[in-house]
Amino acid sequence: MENLNLIVGLGNPGARYARTRHNIGFQLVERLAENWRANWTAEKKFQARVARMERGGRTVLLAEPQTFMNASGETVGAMTAYYRLSLARLLVAVDDADLPLGEIRLRSRGSSGGHHGLESIEQHVGGREFARLRLGIGRTADGKREITDYVLAPFDGPETGLVNEILTAASAQVECWLDAGIEKAMSQFNGAIKPRNEKEN
């Protein structure tokens, strides 16, 4: 559909994972739904929570796959097929441990970078030509590659203020993508977000 955009936040369903680093994609689409006063409904045929709103003469769908992260493509593939959606109208928001906490990076396409959620989506939609918004969550101080416990832990106290600013900036970037296109959204928002106390110094 030419007048529809789909924005998918990746994460794991359930209260256990709700505020973990791995679920920052969920947190972003929840922030967008709050900003847009869009209500969530359970869509069993997509295995997802979906919120719908109208913006600038087009329909925008927000989605949270309920399949668990590594099977996210089941939801995204089903939705893109059902709505006959061009991949150019799909944006996926995902955590990225290879970016420092506070950095956001939107790209029009690219590799999965080893992220299993993105790998699943690429497999189910049959391509990589969709926008992906990477939200940096950083790594442990020792730099270990095995970071399962880290990504499945909640943000700690000092991080929560910065996370709020990340979600604010990333929400504005998504809106810019919808209204002005990906090139402007990339040039205007990609980069590091400084904590509020650093901005004031």
pLDDT given at position 150: 85
DSSP string, 140-192: -TT--S--HHHHTSBPPHHHHHHHHHHHHHHHHHHHHHHHH-HHHHHHHH-EE
Q: Which of 30-39, 91-100, 111-120, 160-169 has the lowest mean pLDDT?
A: 111-120
Q: Is the pTM of this model over 0.85?
A: yes
115 assigned to active site: no
Catalytic residue among 22, 115, 116, 124: 22
pLDDT digits (tens, 9 = 90+) for 126-182: 999 999 999 999 876 655 555 678 889 999 888 999 999 999 999 999 999 999 999
Confidence of residue 200 (pLDDT cuts 50, 70, 90): very low
pLDDT in tens, 36-93: 999 999 999 999 999 999 998 899 999 999 999 999 999 999 999 999 999 999 999 9
